[in-house]
Amino acid sequence: MSDIIQLLPDHVANQIAAGEVVQRPASVVKELLENAIDANATEIKLIVKDAGKTLVQVIDNGKGMSVTDARLSFERHATSKIRAAEDLFQLNTKGFRGEALASIAAIAHVELKTKLDRDDLGTVLVIEGSEVKSQDVSVTPTGTSVSVKHLFFNIPARRNFLKSDTVELRHITDEFHRVALAHPNIAFAFYHNGSDLFNVPQENYRQRVVHIFGTKTNEKLVPVEEETEVLKISGFVGKPEYSKKTKSEQYFFVNQRFIKSPYLNHAIKSAFEGLLKDGYHPSYFLNLTVDPKSIDINIHPTKTEIKFDDEHTLYAILRSAVKHSLGQFNIAPILDFEQQSSFDTPYDYKDKSAAAPSIEVDRSFNPFSNDSPERSAKPSYNNGGFKSAPAASWESLYVGLESKGNNSPSDFSEVTFESDPKNESIFSDSTIETTKTTFQLQQKYIVSTIKSGMLVIDQNRAHQRILYENFLKHITIQEATSQQLLFPLQLHYTPSETKIIEDLKANLEHTGFVFSELNTDGIVITGVPVGVPESEVSIILEQLISDVENDVPDTNFSASDLLAKSMAKSLAIKNGQSLNSTEQEHMVNSLFACKEPNVSPTNRPTFITMAVDDIEKKFM
């Protein structure tokens, strides 16, 4: 048989490679803007027609190119930015592959005009589908202009694949924002179909953020500044009350390059802990400066990931810098005498205890209603060394207090409880107490009396503990009841997000989820765990995805744990929700029927006690 392998002709190879770099008009915008920045331009104009399908043009006042360089710039792997492999480890430029212009020229009509400052005349070069059509001398200002017309003219499949103008323009605008935010010292103008969308002068960072996101943004910015040996941070976070339901205002720049990092994002989220409503995301515009040697950006031209040498340290510094700023600018709650320092008050509730709760709750969802008799009657929480439910709960309460060392155990050993597990309140020992009361404080705490004094329970954390143990039990013993949805629920996710759900599918099914479809662009759910309102499903899953992204579970056990924690977090009764007295009592009972009632699933205290002795001391 004859040989069958052939080398592809250059233009075909170029087209294939181009597909990697240029996915849509926004990719062209990004590459051209970055080239202009690398050329040290101080003014850059972006002109776009029909969302880039007809024209993308970038004009800069940078250093320009010589006649030879103009021609060479379109060769694959032609770059002025690195010379040897070592240079890759100390990049100060955006580009370094020398691929962009070659790729763009392979799949579009390109006109390049460029002139060096020292020359009187410049060069104009026309290339269509990698073929040089003409090269002439031209009168043109110092700097470079690249126009890209008829993108994908020779790849109809690609062209047809482009989305509507609205969507493509959205992508272009996103790229423009990223570049413009990273370089406030450069003036940018952006025109679309003749109208000007942005026109920003050279300015400082705050002005740039405000110019791009609107004047209202100004009041919401909290400065973050920190400088350590390994990392310099500067920029802004948004005040918690301006947090958004989408992640659209989250910008990290590392050495002036836009990056995405779920890990560092988590650092910020955790700095905001207790200040954000569930399902809301903080805004941030942060510039990180690190030694170029300590990062690796050589991953993929279109990717925004980055590898850091020491992510853990960056995480810690970033988190504390943001926390510090939030505290310094009085965003964090002020501790007052009513409040234990171990509790975080969500910002939303600060100074507005009487206001209507701003969190929407599904009124029909009563987590106590259907499992109430079952839970108190069932001895299933008695394993793990506990003798009987009330005794066990009491023991663990006692253990927790003992370890804190703020009460002597004898205070509690005198307390007796009714042993009938059907009794609604384990604290209502009629022989000792004449009143059986719980009440709610600031729709946040459940206060109850015990013989030695007072018990204050954090309702959200307590409920998280209760739900967590319940979910964990379902997952591990694999019996759960599911409620069928009237209409299947379709949710869209990115392939990597879908993968996360897929990995947890078995565990999710054990809690009561039923999936009818799981494919690359999302999932279809037909059943949900009993008690989970349909409206909460997408929040639960989104929470779960982000929890997994930030804390990748490596064993099935930790995956179950994470799932249980995540669902408990999503579904637990929030602060701000009022509970009637039955619900309050039930919360107390359920909490002390847990194996570990003292702490929330994330290891925060669920309650505190105050002994009468201590109260008496306060009156002295």
Binding residue (CB under 5 A) for Mg ion from 62, 95, 184, 238: 95
Closest C-alpha among 266, 216, 257 to residue 238:
216
Minimal distance, residue 98 CB to Mg ion, in Å? 8
Decide whether 95 or 129 has the Cβ nearer to Mg ion. Answer: 95
Q: Which of 49, 60, 33 is nearest to 151 (CA)?
A: 49
* 3-class state of residue 14 by DSSP: helix
Measured CA to CA, the distance from residue 242 to residue 219 in angstroms comes to: 10
Q: Using the minimum distance from each CB to ligand ADP, give the nearer residue, 63 or 159.
A: 63
Q: Residues 79, 140, 376, 460: which binds ligand ADP (CB under 6 A)?
A: 79
Distance (Å, whole) CA 36 – CA 38 = 5
Closest residue to Mg ion, Cβ-based?
95
Cβ proximity of 518 and 505 under 8 Å = yes
Q: Tell me the closest approach of the beta carbon of residue 62 to Mg ion, in angstroms.
A: 12
What is the smallest separation between the CB atom of 174 and ligand ADP, expressed in angstroms?
20
Closer to ligand ADP at the Cβ: 100 or 267? 100
Rounded (5°) CA angle 272-439-392: 85
- State the binding partner of 36 from Mg ion, ligand ADP, none, CB within 5 to 8 A by kind: ligand ADP
- For ligand ADP, the nearest residue by Cβ is 95
Partner touching 98 among Mg ion, ligand ADP, none, CB below 5 to 8 Å by kind: ligand ADP
- CB atoms under 10 Å from CB of 415, counted, come to 17
How far is residue 287's CA from residue 92's CA, in Å, rounded to a whole number? 15
Query: Is 99 among the residues that bind ligand ADP (CB under 6 A)?
Result: yes
| Gyration radius of the chain over CA positions | 31
Candidates 31-39, 226-234, 280-288, 458-466 — which segment interacts with ligand ADP by CB under 6 A? 31-39
> Contact at 8 Å (CB) between 596 and 334?
no
DSSP 3-state assignment of 62? coil
Residue 561 CB partners (closer than 8 Å, separation 6+): 472, 553
417 binds, among ligand ADP, Mg ion, none (CB under 5 to 8 A by kind): none
CA triplet 563, 568, 571: central angle to 5 degrees?
125
73 in contact with ligand ADP (CB under 6 A): yes
Give the pairing of strands 195-200 and 187-192.
Answer: antiparallel
Q: Which does 99 bind (CB under 5 to 8 A by kind): ligand ADP, Mg ion, none?
A: ligand ADP
Tokens representing residue 200 in the block? 């920003």
393 binds ligand ADP (CB under 6 A): no
Stretch that binds Mg ion, among 93-101, 445-453, 486-494, 527-535 (CB under 5 A): 93-101
Q: Does 144 bind ligand ADP (CB under 6 A)?
A: yes
Stretch that binds ligand ADP, among 93-101, 361-369, 403-411, 563-571 (CB under 6 A): 93-101
Shortest CB 281 distance to ligand ADP, Å: 33
Q: How far is the CB of 65 from ligand ADP (least distance, A)?
A: 5
Exposure string for 185-219, b = 16+ CB within 10 A, e = fewer: ebbbbbbbeeeeebebeeeebbebbbbbbeeebee
CB 242 within 8 A of CB 220: yes
Q: Is 62 in the site for ligand ADP (CB under 6 A)?
A: yes
Dist. CA 181–CA 286, nearest whole Å: 10
Longest dimension (CA), the chain: 104
469 binds, among Mg ion, ligand ADP, none (CB under 5 to 8 A by kind): none
Whole-Å CA distances, 507 to 2, 504, 547, 571: 55, 5, 15, 17
Q: Which stretch binds ligand ADP (CB under 6 A): 75-83, 223-231, 533-541, 557-565?
A: 75-83
Q: 114 vs 438, which CB is nearer to ligand ADP?
A: 114
Residues in the chain: 620
Q: Which span sits near ligand ADP by CB under 6 A: 30-38, 199-207, 238-246, 520-528?
A: 30-38
Nearest approach, Cβ of residue 30 and ligand ADP (Å): 10
Two structure tokens written together for 408: 């002597």
Please say which residue, 255 or 428, places its beta carbon nearer to ligand ADP: 255
Question: Given the rule CB under 6 A, which of 33-41, 213-221, 263-271, 542-550 is the region that contacts ligand ADP?
Answer: 33-41
What is the rounded end-to-end Cα distance, in angstroms, of the chain?
A: 104
**Distance between CA 485 and CA 435 in Å, rounded?**
44
**Member of 29, 101, 331, 572 binding ligand ADP (CB under 6 A):** 101
Q: What is the dihedral of CA 564, 570, 572, 576, to 10 degrees?
A: 160
Least distance to ligand ADP, CB of residue 34, Å: 7
Q: How far is the CB of 145 from ligand ADP (least distance, A)?
A: 8
CB of 198 to Mg ion, least distance (A): 22
* Residue 155 C-beta: closest distance to ligand ADP, Å: 19
Minimum CB distance to ligand ADP, residue 40 (Å) = 9
- Which of 201, 279, 273, 205 is CA-nearest to residue 236? 205
Out of 11, 49, 71, 81, which residue is the one contacting ligand ADP (CB under 6 A)? 81
Does residue 464 sit in helix, strand or coil?
A: helix
Task: Name which of 149 and 206 has its Cβ closer to ligand ADP.
Answer: 149
Q: Which of 11, 49, 97, 149 binds ligand ADP (CB under 6 A)?
A: 97
* Strand bridging mode 43-49 / 187-192: parallel
**Nearest Cα residue to 574 out of 350, 333, 357:** 357
Q: How far apart are CA 441 and CA 447, in angstroms?
A: 7
Of 25-64, binders to Mg ion (CB under 5 A) are 35
How many residues form the binding site for ligand ADP (CB under 6 A)? Answer: 24
Residues in contact with ligand ADP, shown as a per-residue x/- string from 246 to 275 under the rule CB under 6 A: ------------------------------
Q: How far is the CB of 181 from ligand ADP (least distance, A)?
A: 20
- The number of helix segments (H) and strand segments (E) in the chain equals 19, 22
Binding site partner of 60, from Mg ion, ligand ADP, none, Cβ cut-off 5-8 A by kind: ligand ADP
Q: Which is nearer to ligand ADP, 34 or 469 (CB)?
A: 34
Helical segments of 257-359, H only = 262-271, 311-328
* Least distance CB 121 / Mg ion (angstroms): 25
List 52, 95, 529, 597, residue binding ligand ADP (CB under 6 A): 95
Question: Which spans of this chain sit near ligand ADP (rule: CB under 6 A)?
Answer: 31, 35-36, 38-39, 60, 62-65, 73, 78-81, 95-102, 144
Question: Which spans of this chain sit near Mg ion (rule: CB under 5 A)?
Answer: 35, 95, 100
